[in-house]
Amino acid sequence: MQRLLAHISKFVELTEEDKETILSIMQYQQVKKKEYLLRQDAVCNANYFILKGCFRRYYIDEKGTEQTIQFAIDNWWITDYDSLERRAPSEYFIQAVENAEIAVLDKRVQEDLFSQVPAMERYFRLVLQRAYAASVQRIRYIYDFSGEERYNHFSNLFPEFLQRIPQYMLASYLGFTPEFLSKIRAKKI
């Protein structure tokens, strides 16, 4: 859980008391590969901070294919904010891509955390600001670059990551089919 406190401390100042409050309100949890934190049609009940490992958020499209819309690794939060906030059934699955350790912030105690540690409100504002900017940047990548260019860019940024995830997950994340990814890779060799 020290990773979580370290991450928060990069954005806001925390007293020792704040740290204890955070640790008392959030839950440490181990998650096995392929386990779910959220399934389609369920209401999302928590925000999850990844201490170690990798998760993905995906949905099933009209053709019945899984489409990965987000990957999250160490030091990222993953949730469905829309379902979490509106208490509405989610369209998404959140699944562990590999064995992982997480810190859980349950919706029912989220408000307690904000009132006891007001700095956390600021922390989430800053984290969301980054997430929003990254998401807009991703739209720009989709518009500006071809599938092959996006693959090259991704594999340069996260070379070790390529080994950890199945190609069909990466293909849908990058916005093309697994067959096309296969062809891109064939070209390199």
| Residue 164 CA, distance from chain mean position | 15
Binding residue (CB under 8 A) for its own copies from 6, 60, 128, 162? 128
Contact flag: residue 180 with DNA (CB under 7 A) = yes
Tokens 């590969």 appear where? 33
For helices 178-188 and 147-157, give the axis angle rounded to 10 degrees: 70
Contact flag: residue 140 with its own copies (CB under 8 A) = yes
Complex with its own copies: residue 59 or 161, whichever CB lies closer: 59
**Which residue spans within the chain are E strands per DSSP?**
27-31, 36-38, 46-52, 54-60, 66-73, 77-78, 93-96, 100-106
Q: Pairing relation of β-strands 66-73 and 100-106?
A: unpaired
Stretch that binds its own copies, among 16-24, 29-37, 55-63, 150-158 (CB under 8 A): 55-63
**Cα Rg for the chain, rounded, in angstroms?**
18
Which 122-161 residues touch DNA, going by CB under 7 A? 146-148
Q: Where do contacts with its own copies occur on this chain (CB under 8 A)?
A: 59, 61-62, 67, 69-70, 81-82, 85, 114, 118, 121-122, 124-126, 128-133, 135-140, 142-144, 172, 175
Q: Where do contacts with DNA occur on this chain (CB under 7 A)?
A: 63, 146-148, 166-168, 175-183, 185-186
